[in-house]
Amino acid sequence: MLGFANNLGAPRRRGLTACSVETCYRGGKPARKGRQPCREITGKPSKLSEQRNSPNCRSKLQRHALYMSEDEVFTRKQHTFTDSAIHGRLYPNHIQTNPIQKALLAVGSGVAALQNPYRHDMVAVLGETTGHLALLKLRHRMNNNPEGYTVLTERPRIRLSTLDLSRMSKLPDGSLGREYLRFLEDNEVTPDTRADVKFVDEEELAYVMQRYREVHDLVHTILGMPTNMLGEVAVKWFEAAHTGLPMCIMGAILGPLRLSLRRKQKLVSSLGPWALRSGSRARCMLSVFYERRWEQNLEELRKELDIEPPPLILPGKNKKAA
């Protein structure tokens, strides 16, 4: 059912190429200052240079919804996500799909994820094809928070290439950066395993989904949950209450079915209620600029986010199972 997914290509029109410009117009409305620009129509550079400020050219560009006046110009900060609606590609790796294709992808990926919860590629497709409304709400929360708005503006990425591991390893025990690095080491995971977004058909929402994925291990760190099955289910309960993403809700409902009786008892009696309570009242986790908080004490950050300490301490992957 999912065989066609890799063959879904974005249509390209002749005579159009990507360029690095500092102007953008999205959906007929000016983009906010500080947001990522989209790609612009480019013809012969010399001809465009001569004509772009002429009344006729400006009128044509406005009709294509890709032009901004000088007072609406903003500067690109990173080349992570860029609009190119005229190509059918809103950002790198974007695959344009219609509602029928999205429905097929959602059903197929959902079945595959049920059969094997460790098929992270299928879980990713399910999240992208079913999460539009939840992503809208998450973006609204980020936009209404000064720090979250800065995250949307600057578009930071959490990758090994963006982390100063040497510096983080020298931070004091109990700091966010040191405990995050310890989590990665203890559970043998890396932020580079997070899949790139492909099927979200709005550029900014695609970044929100990407940010959700890349802070997932930080959520584990803050909650004090390892990557074993019980820890993952507890995090899914938290994320279901916190994000409203259908993928997380499905994981929260079906995940306990794979737990042993003893672990189900731990989930129902303590971890589950704690995760739901914390997830429903916590400050938006996507609005935290973690990259500027590595030195912050983890307990202080928990209090700031209104998250209770975990009721149980679960061992990591390399430690004796609970």
C-alpha distances in Å from residue 194, one per residue of 73, 126, 215, 217: 33, 14, 10, 10
Q: Which of 224, 220, 175, 212 is nearest to 288 (CA)?
A: 212
CA angle 107, 117, 97 (to 5 degrees): 35
Q: Which residues pair with 30 in a beta bridge?
A: 25
- 216 labeled part of a ligand binding site: yes
C-alpha distances in Å from residue 231, one per residue of 69, 141, 163: 51, 26, 25
Q: Which residues pair with 26 in a beta bridge?
A: 29
* Rounded CA separation 127/9 (Å): 20
Structure tokens at 296: 């912050």
- 154 labeled part of a ligand binding site: no
- 87 labeled part of a ligand binding site: no
Identity of residue 4? F
Taking a C-beta distance cutoff of 8 angstroms, is the pair 122, 56 a contact? no
* Rounded CA separation 307/223 (Å): 8
* Rounded CA separation 112/82 (Å): 31
* Rounded CA separation 94/74 (Å): 23
* Rounded CA separation 310/209 (Å): 26
C-alpha distances in Å from residue 319, one per residue of 5, 30, 187, 276: 39, 53, 9, 26
CA 150 to chain centre: 15
> Which residues are annotated binding-site positions?
216-217, 220, 232
> Which residues are annotated binding-site positions for Zn(2+)?
216-217, 220, 232
